[in-house]
Amino acid sequence: MPHQKLIERLLAVSRLSKSEQNALVGLPYAVRNLADGDIVVHQGDRSSCCTVLMSGFLSRQRVISERNQISAFYVPGDIPDLHSLHVPIIDHDLCSTGPSTIATVSHVALRQLLRDFPALTYALWGETVIQAAIYRNWVENLGARAALPRVAHLLCELATRLQQVGLASGGRMNLPFTQGDLADACGLSTVHINRTIQELRRRRLIDWQSQTLELLERVELEFIAEFNQDYLLGRPSLAQH
Amino acid sequence: MPHQKLIERLLAVSRLSKSEQNALVGLPYAVRNLADGDIVVHQGDRSSCCTVLMSGFLSRQRVISERNQISAFYVPGDIPDLHSLHVPIIDHDLCSTGPSTIATVSHVALRQLLRDFPALTYALWGETVIQAAIYRNWVENLGARAALPRVAHLLCELATRLQQVGLASGGRMNLPFTQGDLADACGLSTVHINRTIQELRRRRLIDWQSQTLELLERVELEFIAEFNQDYLLGRPSLAQH
DNA sequence: CGTACAATTGACGAGATTCAATCTTAGTGG
DNA sequence: CCACTAAGATTGAATCTCGTCAATTGTACG
């Protein structure tokens, strides 16, 4: 399987031996470049391979009540359709937000790998556990937070995930999202997202221009968002106590 | 591990050999009875065992922005804290809604079992995949649907999950939830939940009294909710084509 | 330099919240 | 068996957050 970012992520979450890492690296894969808006997998497709995001961003989206709802963003190192190994019918569009690069690995090859290295099964299960925790936090975000803390929470999450794979330092990151994308993810209208972002700017909490987002007052922002990064760390045990 | 409902669920999702089923059944466990409102696991606890819900309902909840947000309901056969095997620090309260019975299985015993029967690792991973799909649907529900379809969708989901374990037939089920519980799950106020339920009653879509919910016009209700049960089935492949 | 798309702004409306009161129901003790 | 109590369900009124509509401005790209 490709790419150091995935290995980085998995190592952050699980302990993998050198041979397991090598087996991952040795997986056959195909690389594909995507442009903004390209759809990787369509809703209804039957999938026979998994996708590893190598660079850029993907989003999972589906039209609900005539509204395009984004239910997940993916950053490099993520495997957005890992679940297709269990449930091959895809029920969302997976699409590139900004240009991106992906690698695809066939289910067949992946299953063989997991048979040979059971610890990898466990490690990938751990990936699913973290993805579930992210969804859970989105549920809370959409269910309980007003617009400002809701947007703040999403930005904190993205910043932390990008940091984990070395794509954000000092709170600065490249983010090719439009305000419409944010609106679709936060369950708000573009108009209201616009006003919310302006408010975040006015309070000097963020700086966002020409696809570069900078979190200016990280502590204050995380306070407003009630953000706690523990759910993104596979091993909070190391961060605690 | 205890209980036929879990086996039923796992069999619905994965193929398990007799010996694997027997190994599951043979796991040592402790049974506990809970009263309404009892907390199984507290936010912040370090968990050393997993919980299998045998009867009744559990809910996962946490206070977000001074609001109690429920991010999941669990029905018999579910393992609400399966993820604690990977991330032992629990970041939500898990509490009994109505009386319930649970069985606890130590992580140690479970890990040993998974070492002996790799197929069970895969099967439990599949459980996590389904739980993630449920979260994803909640994200969409909270992000995109107005109150009426939102409540309808939740009721359809619960009915389907209860059906899977034989606890709902003909759309009738025992449901010990208060309107406040629904409100916490749907991200709405109790007042608005009340009005929404009245509207569902007025349209003769549901009948709900003395803890018994009946879905009267299932097709119509699912249409309003845009509900599709595929995400709850581990093997949509069998339901399709 | 025009075109298309994203961002911004203002005015208005609707869905949902809040507050507060009342009604209903189930459980309790006398 | 019934009054008493507490929790849940219901109702009305006022309010507010956020959505919709529609127009305008800004910006990247050919």
pLDDT tens sequence across A50-83? 999 999 999 999 999 999 999 999 999 999 999 9
Q: Do B136 and A226 touch (CB under 8 A)?
A: no
What letter would DSSP give residue A151? H
Q: Is B145-239 a domain of CATH 3.40.50.720?
A: no
**Would you tell me which residues 102-131 of chain A have a C-beta closer than 8 angstroms to some C-beta of chain B?**
114-115, 118, 121-122, 124-126, 128-131
Cβ contacts below 8 Å, chain A against chain B, sum to: 147
Strand D within 7 A of B99 CB: no
Whether pLDDT at A150 is above 90: yes
User: In angstroms, how far is C30 C1' from B35 CA?
Assistant: 27
Whether pLDDT at A241 is above 50: no
Residue B107 CA from chain centroid, whole number: 21
Give the count of beta carbons closer than 10 Å to the beta carbon of residue B66: 7
Residues A127-141 have pLDDT tens digits of: 999 999 999 999 999
Whether pLDDT at A12 is above 80: no
Which parts of chain B have pLDDT scores under 50? 237-241
Domain boundaries, chain A: 4-138, 146-239
Confidence of residue A236 (pLDDT cuts 50, 70, 90): low
Strand C within 7 A of B131 CB: no
Residue percentage of chain A with pLDDT more than 90: 85
**For residue B149, which nucleotide's C1' is closest to its Cα?**
C15
Cα-Cα-Cα-Cα dihedral sign, residues A211, A214, A220, A226: positive
CA dist., res. A157 & res. A137, Å (int): 10
User: In angstroms, how far is C6 C1' from A25 CA?
Assistant: 40
Q: Specify the CATH number of the domain A146-239.
A: 1.10.10.10
Residues B142-181 have pLDDT tens digits of: 999 999 999 999 999 999 999 999 999 999 999 999 999 9
User: In angstroms, how far is D11 C1' from B193 CA?
Assistant: 13
Q: Is A185 helix (H, G, I), strand (E, B) or coil?
A: helix
* pLDDT at position B2: 57
Q: Counting beta carbons within 10 angstroms of the beta carbon of residue B178, is it exposed (0 to 12), middle (13 to 18) or buried (19 or more)? A: middle
Whether pLDDT at A176 is above 80: yes
Confidence of residue A2 (pLDDT cuts 50, 70, 90): low
Distance from B198 to chain A by nearest Cα, in Å? 22
Average pLDDT over residues A150-177: 96
Q: Which of A13, A239, A28, A47 is nearest to A120 (CA)?
A: A13
User: In angstroms, how far is C14 C1' from B149 CA?
Assistant: 17
Across the interface, which of B69, B133, B231 has its CB nearest the CB of A140?
B69
Q: Do B135 and A140 touch (CB under 8 A)?
A: no
CA dist., res. B49 & res. B103, Å (int): 10
* pLDDT at position A16: 86
Q: Is A34 helix (H, G, I), strand (E, B) or coil?
A: strand
Q: CB-based contact (8 Å) between B80 and chain A?
A: no
* pLDDT at position B9: 79
* pLDDT at position A238: 44
Distance from B70 to chain A by nearest Cα, in Å? 8
Q: Secondary structure of chain B in the HEC alphabet?
A: CCCHHHHHHHHHHCCCCHHHHHHHHHCCCEEEEECCCCEEECCCCECCEEEEEEEEEEEEEEEECCEEEEEEEECCCCCCCHHHHCCCECCCEEEEEEEEEEEEEEHHHHHHHHHHCHHHHHHHHHHHHHHHHHHHHHHHHHHHCCHHHHHHHHHHHHHHHHHHCCCEECCEEECCCCHHHHHHHHCCCHHHHHHHHHHHHHCCCEEEECCEEEECCHHHHHHHHCCCHHHHCCCHHHHCC
Whether pLDDT at A102 is above 80: yes
Average pLDDT over residues A148-159: 98
Looking at beta carbons, which residues of chain B come within 8 Å of A91?
Answer: 228, 230-231
* pLDDT at position A1: 53
Q: Specify the CATH number of the domain B4-138.
A: 2.60.120.10
Distances (CA, A) of A30 to A1, A80, A96: 9, 16, 17
Interface test with B, best of A83, A125, A145 (most B CBs within 10 A): A125
* pLDDT at position B236: 52
* pLDDT at position A77: 93
Distance from A4 to chain B by nearest Cα, in Å? 22
